[in-house]
């Protein structure tokens, strides 16, 4: 089969391009991206779509300017739109404390996505080939992966398409040579100081000595994983729909139903919940999922936080929440005999006459006559201060949280109760010494906080 026919078959099989699309090509100038550009150019009249070349200069190599000129000339020769941008991947790597490889990837996709936003019906085409797929499978095996990792790269992920994912590197180079298509050589690809380069230059050649068709077999393993995951995802999706309620920021698993499932099902449901909330499960490891599931053995009201995800246990639900950038600006009134719902927490106040009571983290007791009603309930604000019980000096709430090692995500959700703009209780943590019960107290206000049923 001719290369052009193979390419068209892949486009149609995976429904990668439709009439009226604008394809933003990540054009590095290397052999893979040049091959992709020329393949797309041969196809664009048949399907009727536009092509835009996007080149990011990483400011990493001396030859970078020549690479940009090559892509610019390619655009000119083929009559295509061309956009370029220069940003230092080394600077970003240093700033974010990440690898230069990861920094370059972030910068590229940021550029491609911003450019895609300027065109209607846009998709981003990247030039990952079959060798890249095999390398990805190996990298994931080396780092430790499950079935999800083995599926490696998809032909389509959101607005990203990979039209040459089933074409080998050697076939690409042969085609470029036969058709006199120019391309640039990135000499850093031959330096074994990056994980992927080491796998490409040292590991795969050894494996090909054992099995000359290793590239094909690794890609086949990826395809088999995709097929199995299709079945698993369908089954888990049906269970999810039956036992889960969801909102924009939270997913609630019905407690009895969730606990009746075996752990592999629970694991998959948590992963699916995270993906629905965040759009990705990147950076979520098996250890993270196991830690979330350890909540089953803990008491109601307990929670586990991982970055901007919170998994908590109430009487009837396990609740998975996205707490990133959460800011509850609401202020609730709380009277002497009252009950309110504050972000899933029930706050109940009552007057008690006995000075005999049991303290625990869910309750606090105050001198009623020192309070001004209605009390106010809200989350923290910049500049908040209070006098912690046991201390005589005023303390910044921010410093108190740091001293207590309170997770950042938890700080923004924690209900704070105030009387006349003075903090009387950081719920579940510490009350203010200004409002404590003394021998002179005649009436006591009890406030308790617990998760909604």
Residues in the annotated binding site: 28-33
Give the CB-side neighbour count of residue 239, counting CA atoms within 13 A. 22
As a whole number of Å, the end-to-end CA separation of the chain is: 64
Q: Can you read off the two tokens belonging to residue 386?
A: 């209070």
Q: What angle do CA 42, 219, 130 make, to 5 degrees?
A: 35
CA distance 298 to 140: 33
CA distance 387 to 394: 5
**Residue (of 79, 73, 81) closest to 182 by Cα position:** 73
CA distance 249 to 344: 12
- Beta strand 375-378 with 332-334 is antiparallel
Beta-bridge partner residues of 437: none
Question: In 211-262, which ranges are continuous DSSP H helix?
Answer: 214-243, 255-259
Cα→Cα distances 382→328, 331, 411, Å: 13, 15, 12
CA distance 374 to 368: 12
Residues found in the chain: 453
* Location of structure tokens 């269970």: 239
Chain mean position to CA 113: 17
Residues 6 or more apart in contact with residue 84 via CB below 8 angstroms: 54, 55, 56, 57, 68, 71, 72
427 contacts 410 by C-beta, under 8 angstroms? no
Question: H or E segment at 419?
Answer: strand 416-419
Q: Which residues are annotated as a binding site for ATP?
A: 28-33
Cis peptide before 123 (omega within 30 of 0): no
CB atoms within 10 A of CB 133: 23
Beta-bridge partner residues of 25: 53, 125
Q: Can you read off the two tokens belonging to residue 344?
A: 């899933």
Q: Can you read off the two tokens belonging to residue 182?
A: 């120019």
């Amino acid at each position: 089969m001719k290369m052009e026919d193979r390419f068209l078959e892949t486009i149609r099989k995976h429904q990668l391009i439709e009439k009226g699309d604008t394809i933003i090509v990540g054009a590095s100038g290397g052999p893979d991206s040049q091959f992709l550009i020329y393949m797309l150019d041969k196809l664009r009249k048949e399907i009727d779509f536009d092509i835009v070349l996007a080149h990011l200069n990483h400011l990493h190599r001396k030859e970078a300017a020549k690479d940009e000129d090559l892509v610019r000339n390619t655009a000119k020769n083929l009559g295509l739109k061309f956009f370029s941008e220069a940003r230092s991947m080394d600077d970003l790597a240093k700033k974010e404390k990440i690898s230069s490889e990861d920094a370059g990837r972030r910068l590229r996709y940021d550029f491609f996505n911003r450019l895609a936003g300027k065109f209607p019906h846009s998709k981003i085409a990247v030039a990952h080939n079959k060798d890249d797929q095999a390398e990805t499978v190996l990298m994931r095996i080396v780092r430790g992966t499950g079935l999800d990792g083995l599926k490696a790269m998809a032909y389509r992920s959101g607005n990203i398409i990979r039209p040459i994912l089933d074409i080998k590197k050697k076939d690409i180079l042969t085609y470029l040579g036969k058709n006199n298509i120019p391309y640039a050589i990135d000499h850093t690809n031959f330096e074994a100081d990056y994980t992927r380069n080491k796998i490409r230059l040292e590991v795969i050649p050894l494996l090909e000595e054992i099995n000359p068709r290793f590239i094909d077999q690794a890609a086949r393993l990826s395809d088999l994983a995709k097929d199995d995951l299709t079945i698993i995802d369908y089954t888990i999706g049906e269970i999810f729909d039956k036992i889960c309620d969801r909102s924009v920021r939270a997913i609630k698993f019905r407690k009895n139903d969730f606990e009746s499932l075996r752990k592999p099902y629970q694991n998959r449901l948590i992963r699916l919940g995270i993906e629905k909330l965040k759009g990705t499960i990147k950076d979520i490891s098996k250890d993270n999922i196991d830690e979330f599931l350890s909540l089953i053995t803990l008491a109601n009201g307990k929670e586990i936080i991982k970055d901007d995800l919170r998994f908590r246990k109430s009487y009837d639900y396990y609740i998975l929440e996205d707490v990133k950038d959460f800011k509850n600006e609401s202020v609730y009134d709380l009277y002497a005999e009252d009950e309110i719902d504050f972000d899933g927490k029930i706050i109940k106040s009552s007057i008690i006459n006995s000075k005999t009571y049991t303290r625990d983290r869910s309750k606090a007791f105050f001198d009623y006559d020192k309070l001004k009603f209605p009390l106010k309930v809200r989350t923290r604000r910049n500049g908040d201060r209070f006098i912690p019980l046991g201390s005589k000096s005023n303390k910044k709430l921010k410093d108190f949280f740091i001293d207590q090692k309170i997770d950042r995500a938890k700080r923004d959700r924690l209900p704070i109760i105030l009387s006349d703009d003075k903090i009387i209780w950081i719920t579940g943590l510490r009350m203010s010494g200004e409002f404590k019960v003394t021998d002179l107290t005649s009436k006591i206000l009890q406030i308790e906080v617990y998760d909604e049923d």
